[in-house]
Amino acid sequence: MSSYVYMKVLESTPQRYDRGIRILSGGTIDALWREVASRVARPGVRVLDLGCGTGGLSLACARLGAEVTGLDKDAGMLAVARQKAAAEGLKVAPQWLELGVMEMEDVIEPASFDAVVSSLMMSELLPEERAYALRQTLRALVKGGSIVLADEVAPEEGASKFLWRLKRAPRAALTWLLTQQTTHPMEGLADDVRAAGFAEVRQQRVAEGDFVIVSAKREAE
Ligand SMILES: C[S@@+](CC[C@H](N)C(=O)[O-])C[C@H]1O[C@@H](n2cnc3c(N)ncnc32)[C@H](O)[C@@H]1O
């Protein structure tokens, strides 16, 4: 079974998603969400989280005081996000929007967010969908606004790739057994962001190289 199908099944069991993603990420996912949030979230900053799932990244941003909108096409994932947010009693509770990224143009006003974040979602889109979503993200941002994306990647070199597979296989198997979920490593995210028209594109591998964080800006003028 491909890891993509594995991920799809993971998302079909939203109540178990958080447990699955923690196992699959080797316990690093919460730190990844905090790192992404720390780059943009502050009181008064309007943040859009694309493919927010059960709200891990949205809540990390909201805890820093940002005004968060979590967007996802999956009602079950959003229901879990809502429950988690309600349990926290945040000062500014996130808004949840059931929407596919391919519908963004119809619903999201131009220049209505200061920052757009996303984790483990861009890898789920087809290349042409990703290109569209990134162009819509540029449109949704104010001039000078930021995008910060995190996703799973595989190492580039042969030997590291072999070791990565050895490390990942048992985690993926355990995650699958417990939750029927997985993720889908991707390539070329920074290039896609650049191609969509963003400026100041930077990428950093984190969590022993298992994840990449890509950040960029909508040009100020
Ligand atoms: C792997 S989960 C990641 C969830 C969350 N961002 C996280 O870091 O745990 C991918 C999420 O993207 C959502 N998603 C996938 N394709 C989407 C699309 N075209 N539009 C909106 N959401 C989408 C799925 O429903 C799922 O909740």
Does residue 17 fall inside a structural domain?
no
Measured in angstroms, how far is the CA atom of residue 26 from the centroid of ligand 1?
20
Amino acid at 115: A
Does residue 115 fall inside a structural domain?
yes
21 CA closest ligand 1 atom index? 9
Binding site membership of 11 for ligand 1 (Cβ less than 6 Å): yes
**Residue 117 CA: distances (Å) to CA of 41, 55, 69, 160, 215:** 10, 12, 10, 28, 9
**Residue 82 CA: distances (Å) to CA of 71, 78, 96, 208, 211:** 12, 6, 8, 32, 26
Does residue 172 fall inside a structural domain?
no
Amino acid 1: pLDDT: 46
Measured in angstroms, how far is the CA atom of residue 121 from the centroid of ligand 1?
5
Q: Looking up tokens 């990390």, which residue turns up?
A: 60
Amino acid 21: pLDDT: 83
* Number of domains, the chain: 1
CA angle 188, 77, 3 (to 5 degrees): 40
Q: Looking up tokens 């099944």, which residue turns up?
A: 9
Amino acid 8: pLDDT: 61
pLDDT in tens for each of the 221 residues of the chain? 455 655 666 566 677 888 888 887 888 999 999 999 999 999 999 999 999 999 999 999 999 999 999 999 999 999 999 999 999 989 899 999 999 999 999 999 999 999 999 999 998 899 999 999 999 999 999 999 999 999 988 776 666 667 767 777 767 676 666 656 566 677 899 999 999 999 999 999 987 778 999 999 999 97
**For residue 88, what are the domain limits?**
27-152+183-217
Does residue 14 fall inside a structural domain?
no
* Cβ atoms of 149 and 122 closer than 8 Å: yes
From 54, 73, 117, 210, mutation site for ligand 1 pocket: most ligand atoms within 8 A of C-beta: 73
Q: SS3 for 143?
A: strand
Does residue 105 fall inside a structural domain?
yes
Q: Please tell me the distance from the alpha carbon of residue 148 to that of residue 135, in angstroms, as a whole number.
A: 14
CA dihedral 185, 149, 214, 64 (to 10 degrees): -130
Does residue 51 fall inside a structural domain?
yes
Q: Please tell me the distance from the alpha carbon of residue 99 to that of residue 188, in angstroms, as a whole number.
A: 25
Binding site membership of 81 for ligand 1 (Cβ less than 6 Å): no
Amino acid 217: pLDDT: 98
Q: Residue 143's domain is classified under what CATH number?
A: 3.40.50.150
Amino acid 198: pLDDT: 98
Amino acid 164: pLDDT: 67
Amino acid 9: pLDDT: 60
Question: What pTM was computed for the model?
Answer: 0.88
Beta bridge partners of residue 69, listed in sequence order: 48, 95
Does residue 162 fall inside a structural domain?
no
Amino acid 73: pLDDT: 95
Does residue 110 fall inside a structural domain?
yes
Helix (H) or strand (E) holding 164: helix 158-179
32 CA closest ligand 1 atom index? 8
